[in-house]
Amino acid sequence: MFIVVSSKNYNVLSYGAVGNGNNDDTQAFIKAWTDTCKDSDRPVMLIPKGKTFLVHPVTFAGPCKSSQVDVQLSGNVIAPNDPNAWKGLDFGKWLTFQYVDGLTVSGDGLLDGRGKGWWDISCKYNPGKGCNKLAPSILRFENCNNVKTTRIRTVQSGGVHLVYFGCQGVEVTSVNINAPDESPNTDGIRLSHSTSVSITDSIIGTGDDCIAMLDRSYNISITRVNCGPGHGISIGSLGGNGDEVDLENITISHINFYNTTNGARIKTWPAGKGQVRNVEFSNIKFKEVENPIIIDQHYGESKNSPRQKTEF
């Protein structure tokens, strides 16, 4: 059991949150975070059990005074239903942490991205004028070091569920991630420009990659994960627009793939450059998987496209 020892809890209810699923509780969350981040003695921002909080897109920014900061997610947090709530904001983000070191987000609560409104306007399924190519991730960590995500559940993300960008020292344990298999671009976990990452003992079922590792991902360990439905555990896609990329030291073991389009997967665009080194998939099981092992060095090409030389 995960136990938090702290001098003080900052309960969002104490800052005016209602928790009825209808009132906008965003400002209460911002105020609670502000005081949490100012506390120097391992503070806890508490999202209590038995409540459902409606929160609009928000960024919880650091650095904070304490070297250890905890967000205890015991209740439910839901996103706005209407994509118009993001008007004028970054479509790729809902709940974002930036520059917070020693951060732990834990608990048995729920983060619900209520993503159907985004799926309905996705260019993947509804191409044409006015379609949308970018949808919000549920939980995004940017430039956070020594960050832990434990036991939380995420559902119905408009886009990616958990994103780690520019982070060092990441632990993801016992998370449960779920979205319908037809939901577009709903990766479970996406890593980029991050190093020393451990993902263990988790259940991931989505409409896209269960886990995707993008450029500048180093020293990644993924073990004891159930993946399905989804597109598998992927390195890539890499090298779009001819970019030069670098990934190294990736170990993936004890994985159960069920009802996925792919299993162990590496996908690179033909114009890309760079290197993918020291990758190991081991102790993996497949059930009802279309492409158990696939290395695609011409990702994004149609079947009739001429083959191009790749430098991977």
Is residue 70 packed enough to be buried (19+ CB in 10 Å), middle (13-18) or exposed (0-12)?
buried
**Distance (Å, whole) CA 251 – CA 114:** 33
**Distance (Å, whole) CA 21 – CA 3:** 28
As annotated, the active-site residues are 208, 231
Would you say 235 and 191 are in contact if contact means Cβ atoms under 8 Å apart?
A: no
**Residue the block writes with tokens 């900052």:** 10
Cβ atoms < 10 Å from Cβ of 54: 22
* Tokens of residue 223, six digits: 């073990």
DSSP 3-state of 12: helix
User: Which residue pairs, CB below 8 angstroms and at least 24 apart, start in 27-33?
Assistant: 29/53, 29/55, 29/58, 30/58, 30/60, 33/60
Query: CA 164, 169, 172, 178: dihedral to nearest 10 degrees?
Result: 10
Pinpoint the alpha helices (H) of 96-186.
Answer: 116-119
Would you say 193 and 216 are in contact if contact means Cβ atoms under 8 Å apart?
A: yes
**Distance (Å, whole) CA 205 – CA 210:** 6
Residue 120 zone, left/alpha/beta (φ > 0; ψ -120 to 50; rest): alpha
